[in-house]
C-alpha cells in the first residue's frame, strides 16, 4: 500500500490505478480505525477495482471547544489495518497541504446542515462538506463510501454531490455495531468502563422507540420516552432525539416512510450519535 502526502503524487498514483479502465472507490476517514471503517473498505472492494482511503483529521469540522487536539491518532496502526484489507493507496495529507495559507473557500449545504448535529455543532458540516469536496477533487474516484452511522453527514454529502454535479457515486454502508448494539465509533475510546456499559442505553432507546413508532405509538411520546431512557441509562444530556424524513431530514410529527430516528447524547465529555430506520 502506498502512503502519499503530496497532491501531485496522489494524482499520478490514482491515474496509474485507473489505467486500463479500472475503477477507484474512495473511503474518507479521520483514522483511529475500527471495524466500521473496515466494513466501508470491504464495500469499496466489492464495488470498485481499487480502494483509496483518506486519513485526515480535519480541523475545520471541529468547534473551538471540541476534541481536535485530543482526537485519537495512530497512523502506523491504521496503515497496517488498511494494508491487510488490500487498500491500494492511503492519502494522508498534512493540514498545510489541505489548507494552504490563504485558503478561503467553503461549502455550506444550507438546508440539511442546520438542524440536529448542525445546531449542536455550528460550522461542523461546512467543514465536512468543504473537506469532502476537496477529497473528491483530489482523488477523482468513481465512487465514495460513507457510513450510515453519520446519517446527516451522508444526506449532506449526497445533496452536495448532486447540487455541485460531482461525477461520483455516493454509497452508504450499514452501521457496524458492537455485540451489545453500541455503534462503533473512534470516540468510544474516550469512554470509561462504566460509561461504556451505560452507552448501550442509546441504541436500546432508539430500538424501543422505532418499535413503538412502527406499531403506531404517538411520535412525541415515543421520542420523550427515548430521551428519558437515555438519561436514566446514565447519559448526562441529550442533544436531540428526533424522527426525520430519511432523505430530506425534515422533522416528522407523524410517522411516514422512509423515516429515520436520529439521536445525539452526551456521556461525560463524550458525545455519541446513533440512528435507526423505522419500518
Residue 225 CB-density burial (10 A; 0-12 exposed, 13-18 middle, 19+ buried):
middle
Evaluate whether 117 touches 41 at the Cβ level (below 8 Å): no
C-alpha 93 chain-centroid distance: 19
Q: Is 182 in the site for ligand AMP (CB under 6 A)?
A: no
Among residues 89, 156, 175, 210, which is the contact residue for ligand AMP, using CB under 6 A?
175
- Report if residue 203 touches ligand AMP, rule: CB under 6 A: no
CB 88 within 8 A of CB 17: yes
Sheet of strand 270-278, all strands in order from the earlier edge strand to the far edge: 237-245, 259-267, 270-278
Identify whether 85 is preceded by a cis peptide bond (ω within 30 of 0): no
Among the residue ranges 93-101, 119-127, 177-185, 209-217, the one whose residues contact ligand AMP (CB under 6 A): 177-185
Residue closer to ligand AMP, measured from CB, 57 or 278: 57
**With 0-12 CB in 10 A as exposed, 13-18 as middle and 19+ as buried, what is 197?**
middle
Q: At what angle do helices 219-232 and 201-214 cross, to 10 degrees?
A: 160
Q: How long a stretch of residues is the chain?
A: 279
**Between 182 and 222, whose beta carbon lies closer to ligand AMP?**
182
103 is catalytic: no
Grid cell at residue 16: 496509474
Determine if 186 is a binding residue for ligand AMP (CB under 6 A).
yes
Q: Which of 146, 190, 235, 240 binds ligand AMP (CB under 6 A)?
A: 146
Given 89, 131, 141, 183, the residue binding ligand AMP (CB under 6 A): 183
37 versus 260: smaller Cβ distance to ligand AMP:
37
Residues 4-43 that bind ligand AMP (CB under 6 A): 29-30, 36-37, 39-40
Which C-beta is closer to ligand AMP: that of 13 or that of 44? 44
Site residues (CB under 6 A) for ligand AMP? 29-30, 36-37, 39-40, 146-147, 149-150, 173, 175-176, 183-186
Positions marked active-site: 37
Amino acid at each position: 500500500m502506498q502512503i502519499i502526502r503530496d497532491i501531485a503524487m496522489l494524482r499520478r498514483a490514482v491515474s496509474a490505478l485507473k489505467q486500463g479502465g479500472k475503477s477507484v472507490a474512495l473511503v474518507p476517514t479521520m483514522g483511529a480505525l475500527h471495524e466500521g471503517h473496515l466494513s466501508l473498505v470491504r464495500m469499496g472492494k466489492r464495488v470498485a477495482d481499487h480502494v483509496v482511503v483518506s486519513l485526515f483529521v480535519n480541523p475545520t469540522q471541529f468547534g473551538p471547544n471540541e476534541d481536535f487536539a485530543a482526537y485519537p491518532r495512530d497512523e502506523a496502526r491504521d496503515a497496517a489495518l488498511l494494508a491487510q484489507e488490500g487498500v491500494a493507496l492511503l492519502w494522508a495529507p498534512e493540514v498545510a497541504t489541505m489548507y494552504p495559507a490563504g485558503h478561503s473557500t467553503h461549502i455550506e449545504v444550507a438546508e440539511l446542515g442546520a438542524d440536529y448535529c448542525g445546531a449542536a455543532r455550528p460550522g461542523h458540516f461546512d467543514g465536512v462538506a468543504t473537506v469532502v469536496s476537496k477529497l473528491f477533487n483530489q482523488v477523482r474516484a468513481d465512487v465514495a463510501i460513507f457510513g450510515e452511522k453519520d446519517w446527516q453527514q451522508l444526506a449532506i454529502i449526497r445533496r452536495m454531490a448532486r447540487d455541485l454535479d460531482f461525477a461520483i457515486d455516493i454509497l452508504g454502508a450499514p452501521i457496524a455495531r458492537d455485540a451489545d448494539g453500541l455503534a462503533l465509533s473512534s470516540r468510544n475510546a474516550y469512554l470509561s468502563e462504566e460509561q461504556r456499559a451505560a452507552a448501550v442505553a442509546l441504541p436500546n432507546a432508539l430500538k424501543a422507540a422505532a418499535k413503538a413508532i412502527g406499531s403506531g405509538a404517538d411520535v412525541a411520546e415515543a421520542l420523550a420516552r427515548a430521551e428519558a431512557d437515555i438519561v436514566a441509562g446514565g447519559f448526562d444530556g441529550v442533544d436531540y432525539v428526533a424522527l426525520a424524513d430519511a432523505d430530506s431530514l425534515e422533522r416528522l410529527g407523524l410517522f411516514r416512510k422512509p423515516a429515520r430516528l436520529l439521536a445525539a447524547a452526551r456521556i461525560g465529555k463524550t458525545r455519541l450519535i446513533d440512528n435507526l430506520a423505522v419500518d
